[in-house]
Structure 1
Amino acid sequence: MDGRAAASTAFSDEGRAMSDTLRLLLALLELGPRLKGLLGDKWPPYADELQALAGRAGQGEDPDKLRQSLDLLVVRLLAEPPAVDLVERVMADMAAPAVATETVTRRGRGAPVVINEIVRPSTDETTGVVTIPVFYGTDRARGDDTPANFFRGERGTPSYGVAEVSVPTRGRDLGELTGPSWWRLEFSPNPEKHVILKSVGALGRGVFVTSLKESLAAADSRDVLIFVHGYNVTFEDAARRAAQLAVDLKFAGRTLLYSWASAADTKKYTVDESTIDWSRDHFEAFLQLALGEIGAGKVHIIAHSMGNRAVINTLERVTSWQLPAGAAKLGQVIFAAPDIDRDRFVQLAARFKGCAARVTLYASSRDVALLASKFVHGYPRAGEAGEVLTVVDGIDTIDASLVDTSLVGLHHSYFGEKRSILNDMFNLIVQQLAPDQRFDLQAAGDALRKYWNYRA
């Protein structure tokens, strides 16, 4: 007996309507040849599992157990980019509630779990630990099913999902990205002390948009914050940083992450340089999604280090976009220590002038990574301060050197690790204050070359 025939025997002789589970199972069996063509060598395990499910259905297995197994199979299929559109169309046609397009999936260290609820932040009132959903887009290659290795440092196919990150609010300095430390005799993560990536769930594009749209509609603010990380960063640390920023900035909207395929290896700087250029189109599509498809009010961007290249090269083309009526506006765009050629930055800045409510550049004369980049390229970087400080019409330049006193080597993350920097970002993003309204800044330069310093 073939799979379809076995599944069909589960229908009652009285001709009652087939259950959603069996309808979906039959639909997937019917799609077998097309899924095989899309998935290639990845298809055989799915085919075997579908055949086994059909046999279980034919033997009259408990419907709830059968549905649970089928749900897990569908979630895995939705994590296969070539099959996503086809499976989503089937699910939409079926209108099967348990795996409909608004379903949110999460994958932890074990099997994936299907959840039918709006994804939103939550707080444990006893411990003060906040769990933040980070809605991500990435072009990294898939790894294994553990959160820390869900995505690798190689290039892959653009994909979407939700990462859950827990952030302690007690006993952690503002901006601190805490983790276990062997010299403190901490050998495993502790949610009350450390910022932890708890789970990563892959979603098809349609499911991602629906889930994010519903979550944003339930938020206290319809604004979203997109974080784009820099050189030498893993997906895990990018997600942790995005959640930490959301908590420390007291951001009331929803937090998004674009994680480009950084090799996360200090020896592969030039590899990351090539990859960030390759990622530009993928980030552009992600930004257009955020502006035009999720019902956002304003979209804010914080880009760090090399990640600024994808952002600024995308903004160069913003005037040519055809966004739908009612699309969101760009709010605050923050270039934090941008590792991009200074002269190129000046050229591009003239092209996207006026595209956002406000554009801010944080620079430093003590950023070791930027100085190393200057050594490699032979020209100043846009994130440098001092004599080469970048001052451009339409951009608020802030010399953050005075508050960057402990930046060394690999840290290269002062923008997220200094209290005064985060306080200023809070005043900028949440309070919407101009530089002359922010108490920790003072004007410097002259009428033709005005910028801002931190007060000593």
Structure 2
Amino acid sequence: MRAGGRTYIVGACLFSLALLAGCASRPEAGALVSNATVVQGATSHDILVATTRARDDRPGTFFNGDRTSSLNFASIEVSVPPSHKSGNIEWPSSPPGNPQTDFVTRGGEFLDSDKQFIAQLNQRLKSQPRGHRKVLLFIHGYNTLFAEGLYRFTQVVHDARGSAVPVFFSWASRGKTLDYVYDNNSATIARDGLERTIRLLAASDADEINVVAHSMGTWVTVEAFRQIKISGLLPPGGKIGTVVLAAPDIDIDVFKSEMQRIGKPKKPFLIILSKDDRALGLSRFIAGDKDRLGASGDAAELTALGAVVVDLSDLKADDSTNHSKFAQIAEIAPDLRKVLARGIPKPRQDGPVSAATTVLTLPAAVLTAPIKILTAN
């Protein structure tokens, strides 16, 4: 096929994906205008931000989709309404929103240096006893505006009911479906910034750093860990906890290469996948029909690389692309942690098996379908 023909088809596919994602207006400039109104039953979350996005001084914006060579920091407080439904983001129809019914930003500030960032992090860690001071680091995916990533992370933090200090790493996505190549290049540029962020977290008073990355953000994450391994300057032993790769938009051959350099982690990577992920189907087409990690059908291959696989293929998605299922299971995070802590029992059967499987079934009020967890024998 001629290059022009393939470019046309890719453009048409991206346009179709944009239609699948819906036509509602998205939270761009001014979406994070402050609303400090106190509402009974609303819950506030203080989110620390490290980002390779450029600062944006327009009120209620903080950062835009442009790249910067420096690492910027901020602290932003987000309120979740008392009527919140697990897995959802209750977007305001217009800023600043109603804290009784909407996610709203209560306030925020830029932080001018690494030292300010670490000082705020350590201050928040003091609320937990030594030995239990945890950080949760989140890295968003492709086609994500800053406000979208911030509110999605807040939803996950709120629904998971954890005590870890939340830190949001945001790279310079334009938040436009047709800017896949720009986003991919921005993710490449962000590797150093994420490595630096991980090192800052490791140098803090945190006892454990858990990581959740989504979509194209998973590639940035694995690359950052690869760079850390190559440098030989590893974080203090035991500080890196669970690394979750949700709907990873990574060429499966690239992932194998990265893991060969990183080696089997002490704690297996947790890969959340779904075979019906339409966004990753498009990414596969753009990438020359190469499988994406987050839509892989070969769980045994992934477990052999040192991963635990959480298969959400049977779960009905809240979004039309089936690409954000990970956010729907945040509510069951405590149950999932218990299952993984106990270990997954090996199935009793005579012949050789490629992977042990357990099925986590929860009340229909929480999930409409069971999820499958697979690990190496």
On whether the aligned pair clears a TM of 0.5, the verdict is: yes
Rounded Cα–Cα distance in structure 1 between residues aligned with 2:313 and 2:319: 10
Equivalent in 352, 365, 381 of residue 275 of structure 2 = 365
Equivalent in 95, 100, 103 of residue 195 of structure 1 = 103
RMSD over aligned Cα atoms: 3.0
Contact kept? 2:317, 2:325, Cα under 8 Å: no
Contact kept? 2:140, 2:213, Cα under 8 Å: yes
Contact kept? 2:195, 2:224, Cα under 8 Å: yes
Q: 1:434 to 1:371 in 2, by over 3 A?
A: farther
SS of residue in 2 equivalent to 1:191: coil
Contact kept? 1:329, 1:356, Cα under 8 Å: no
How far is the alpha carbon of 1:207 from its aligned partner? 1.2
Contact kept? 1:164, 1:200, Cα under 8 Å: yes
Mapping of residues 266-305 of structure 1, within 5 Å:
266-292=177-203, 294-305=204-215
* Cross-structure match for 1:211: 120
* Cross-structure match for 2:308: 396
SS of residue in 2 equivalent to 1:403: coil
Q: Whose helix proportion is higher, 1 or 2? A: 1
Equivalent in 225, 228, 242 of residue 136 of structure 2 = 225
Equivalent in 133, 139, 144 of residue 52 of structure 2 = 139
Amino acid at match of 1:276: A
Amino acid at match of 2:138: F
* Cross-structure match for 1:448: 354
SS of residue in 2 equivalent to 1:266: coil
How far is the alpha carbon of 1:386 from its aligned partner? 3.2
Rounded Cα–Cα distance in structure 2 between residues aligned with 1:443 and 1:308: 34
Alignment of 1:152 with 2:58, yes or no, is: no
Kindly tell me the number of residue pairs found equivalent between the two proteins.
Answer: 321
SS of residue in 1 equivalent to 2:303: coil
Rounded Cα–Cα distance in structure 1 between residues aligned with 2:333 and 2:278: 22
Larger deviation, residues 270-279 vs 348-357: 348-357
Equivalent in 267, 271, 286 of residue 376 of structure 1 = 286
Contact kept? 2:215, 2:249, Cα under 8 Å: yes
How far is the alpha carbon of 1:431 from its aligned partner? 8.0
Q: 1:222 to 1:429 in 2, by over 3 A?
A: farther
1:371-403 per-residue CA deviation (whole Å, 9 max, x = no partner) reads 110111120100004358852322101211111
Contact kept? 2:92, 2:103, Cα under 8 Å: no
Equivalent in 145, 151, 162 of residue 240 of structure 1 = 151
Contact kept? 2:96, 2:104, Cα under 8 Å: no
Q: 1:446 to 1:352 in 2, by over 3 A?
A: farther
How far is the alpha carbon of 1:210 from its aligned partner? 1.1
Q: 1:218 to 1:443 in 2, by over 3 A?
A: farther
Contact kept? 1:428, 1:434, Cα under 8 Å: no
* Cross-structure match for 1:70: none
Q: 1:180 to 1:423 in 2, by over 3 A?
A: closer
SS of residue in 2 equivalent to 1:161: strand
Equivalent in 211, 234, 240 of residue 330 of structure 1 = 240
* Cross-structure match for 1:177: 89
1:211-236 per-residue CA deviation (whole Å, 9 max, x = no partner) reads 11121112364100000000111111
Alignment of 1:251 with 2:162, yes or no, is: yes
Alignment of 1:161 with 2:74, yes or no, is: yes
Unaligned runs of 5+ in 2: 1-31, 362-369, 371-377
Rounded Cα–Cα distance in structure 1 between residues aligned with 2:311 and 2:340: 20
Contact kept? 2:312, 2:325, Cα under 8 Å: no
How far is the alpha carbon of 1:198 from its aligned partner? 3.0
* Cross-structure match for 1:74: none
1:335-370 per-residue CA deviation (whole Å, 9 max, x = no partner) reads 000001011112222333443533210110111101
SS of residue in 1 equivalent to 2:245: strand
Contact kept? 1:332, 1:356, Cα under 8 Å: no
Larger deviation, residues 207-216 vs 424-433: 424-433
Rounded Cα–Cα distance in structure 1 between residues aligned with 2:197 and 2:152: 19
Alignment of 1:436 with 2:331, yes or no, is: no
Give aligned-pair identity as a percent. 27
Rounded Cα–Cα distance in structure 2 between residues aligned with 1:446 and 1:225: 38
Rounded Cα–Cα distance in structure 1 between residues aligned with 2:201 and 2:285: 36
Normalised to the residue count of structure 1, the TM-score between the two structures is 0.64
Larger Rg: 1
SS of residue in 2 equivalent to 1:210: helix
Unaligned runs of 5+ in 1: 1-107, 111-123
Normalised to the residue count of structure 2, the TM-score between the two structures is 0.76
Contact kept? 1:280, 1:314, Cα under 8 Å: yes
Amino acid at match of 1:426: P
Q: 1:443 to 1:245 in 2, by over 3 A?
A: farther
Amino acid at match of 1:180: P
Alignment of 1:128 with 2:128, yes or no, is: no
The structure, 1 or 2, with the larger RCO (C-alpha pairs under 8 Å, 6+ apart) is: 2
